[in-house]
Structure 1
């Protein structure tokens, strides 16, 4: 693309952003990250995923984002490194343990885990404190993790539906391990209560388990007709007072919403307007799908390309008809000019803020990190 053409596209998008964003802040990491994890309401943890030595950083969000009034007068508008450390390998998964200054990571190469102290007021250094041995029957990496909200710091981890275990972090002891013959590859793990968890699989199956029970997790296969035998599925769960909703998105763009009480039944579905980049083969860790925690019926999807799309699932019906996104964040693809021949920019991760309803963070393969508060176009 000619430099003048790129400049025109950037100018057009900047003018458009004045009407479509309440806030938009851009940061550039030295290396791309595939993990964004909240450590507090105003801080996140990110880490590099190159095969060599990587930074693991805790960043504070721009103070201007949280200014109640006179945002324009707030001088501090950038991310700030508050704690940092080094890891000898890549970080493909990172989970913060609620109520602690601990985080657990996986390098994506083995099933072993690493435990980190994120530092405190007396130290700005993030340091590795322990390791957790992975499951013996795990083939390679692809570890998925979830952290329960409990008085005892612990981590749920596994690579397949039949090798999920819960490990106590202070002692390193396994406190739940119910191996089974089930070999479905995991796409994510979620706690839907302090003891009940959901193991979502790349084939669309959803396994539920209880860490107090000795029985193996129960499986509820996805009953909608398979689009093709090679489809991958990604899942998120949203617990609520009236139950727990699941949303599953396939590599072909099919989205299905179900209820955890009857996970094999379809509540509603749609065909999303996603476009996988040419010659790009999607892998189990590429796509992120998330319910908005503070915005009813909103679902966000990224990883198919360089955009983050937000959909309103309230408009979906019984059949998978095509739907358009309610909002698209295109900032990662238009804010940086890629040299000819380079791979297109792809969003590697995104996450919602738990309190600010329309605030998200997103990261991309060029090292860009954005935090943005979008304006609902349907609200005028």
Structure 2
């Protein structure tokens, strides 16, 4: 099922009433049903189109939110994608700088940019590696980043056929360790300084990399997790768009952890979160919940939205845990 919900802006500014009320502040505007599990959902900027993908399909589903006289989200077409099976499904990315195309792939050697209207591939990454990928991110209309499950990063420029930069592979000390990445929002059209790509492993290791020179990480840390992530498809790491050096992780349990990376160094050290959102776990005590995704509000620096495996959806604010020392 796909839902398009809206949170009124005035509900977040604290002028009406502090806190959010489900009956007042959440309104489902459109909805639809998918015959297959949806693991990735992207909006195509400046359009009424949505894109979905998942392990049960070897295609990307294109949906359209109906006109004002209907609340339905309807499937309108499919785009063929070279999916490699249940554990290696197609990842997708979109960008506001080019709303006519979608970036997609399940492995390094089948990454394409496809034009939605013609369904023709207009670019293919010129790499032969069959490594599965965990994330794709546009940086602008011409460049994009790829993170493999082994932690290797690729930076590609679509204006030059062979313009691909590759990071030194992140060593995995344990068998089965998997990686994902998060990219600073400032990269999408605006220059930034310092670390801009954060990578997270299923063992709780984090590396921060400068996209201008990602041969080696700038900072490393080992985050506080009780046990390794068993479902690496749910791992998520995200930069706070309005707070310097703050980032968040989820997918290991029923919590979202927020970290301040300002004091991190290139030598990995154990780090503790400055805040932990436990709302999902508290509402269902005794159940083995997993946070399935989370995202930062683009305009409210300390507001996030998170979802969990029980179907719950939370919008919440946070403040740094005060030290008792």
Q: TM-score, normalised by structure 2?
A: 0.90
Change (3 A) 1:209 1:372: same
Change (3 A) 1:111 1:207: farther
The answer as to whether partners of 2:11 and 2:20 remain within 8 angstroms in 1 is no
Q: Aligned-pair distance for 1:125?
A: 1.0
1:242 aligns with 2:188: no
Counterparts in 2 of 1:1-12, with a 5 A limit? none
Counterparts in 2 of 1:68-147, with a 5 A limit? 68-71=14-17, 77-135=24-82, 138-140=84-86, 141-147=88-94
SS, match of residue 334 in structure 1: helix
Q: Aligned-pair distance for 1:211?
A: 2.1
The answer as to whether partners of 2:11 and 2:25 remain within 8 angstroms in 1 is no
1:178 aligns with 2:125: yes
CA distance in 1, matches of 2:271, 2:75: 45
Q: Aligned-pair distance for 1:149?
A: 2.0
Deviations 1:4-60 (A, max 9, x none): xxxxxxxxxxxxxxxxxxxxxxxxxxxxxxxxxxxxxxxxxxxxxxxxxxx211111
CA distance in 2, matches of 1:65, 1:109: 38
Q: Aligned-pair distance for 1:245?
A: 1.1
The answer as to whether partners of 2:53 and 2:60 remain within 8 angstroms in 1 is yes
Q: Aligned-pair distance for 1:228?
A: 2.1
After alignment, is 264-273 or 67-76 more displaced? Answer: 67-76
Q: Aligned-pair distance for 1:213?
A: 2.2
The answer as to whether partners of 1:64 and 1:77 remain within 8 angstroms in 2 is no
Q: 2:248 aligns with which of 300, 314, 317?
A: 300
CA distance in 1, matches of 2:54, 2:127: 25
The answer as to whether partners of 2:235 and 2:251 remain within 8 angstroms in 1 is yes
Q: Aligned-pair distance for 1:242?
A: 2.9
CA distance in 2, matches of 1:74, 1:192: 33
**Aligned counterpart, 1:344:** 288
CA distance in 2, matches of 1:138, 1:74: 42
Q: Determine which structure has greater relative contact order: mean sequence separation of CA pairs < 8 Å that are 6+ residues apart, divided by chain length.
A: 1
Counterparts in 2 of 1:226-265, with a 5 A limit? 226-238=172-184, 239=187, 240-243=190-193, 245-265=196-216
Change (3 A) 1:214 1:72: closer
SS, match of residue 117 in structure 1: strand
**Aligned counterpart, 2:2:** 56
Larger radius of gyration: 1
CA distance in 1, matches of 2:124, 2:169: 25
CA distance in 2, matches of 1:344, 1:74: 26
Q: 1:200 aligns with which of 147, 168, 188?
A: 147
CA distance in 2, matches of 1:197, 1:308: 27
**Would you identify which runs of 4 or more consecutive aligned residues in structure 1 move more than 6 Å?**
none
Q: Aligned-pair distance for 1:109?
A: 2.0
CA distance in 2, matches of 1:354, 1:88: 31
Cα RMSD after superposing both structures: 2.4
SS, match of residue 153 in structure 1: strand
The answer as to whether partners of 1:231 and 1:250 remain within 8 angstroms in 2 is yes
The answer as to whether partners of 2:151 and 2:199 remain within 8 angstroms in 1 is yes
1:332 aligns with 2:286: no
Q: 1:211 aligns with which of 155, 158, 164?
A: 158
Q: Aligned-pair distance for 1:162?
A: 1.3
Structure 1 unaligned runs (5+)? 1-54
Counterparts in 2 of 1:345-364, with a 5 A limit? 345-364=289-308
Q: 1:66 aligns with which of 4, 7, 12?
A: 12
1:311 aligns with 2:262: no
SS, match of residue 71 in structure 1: coil
Change (3 A) 1:376 1:92: same
1:222 aligns with 2:174: no
Q: TM-score, normalised by structure 1?
A: 0.77
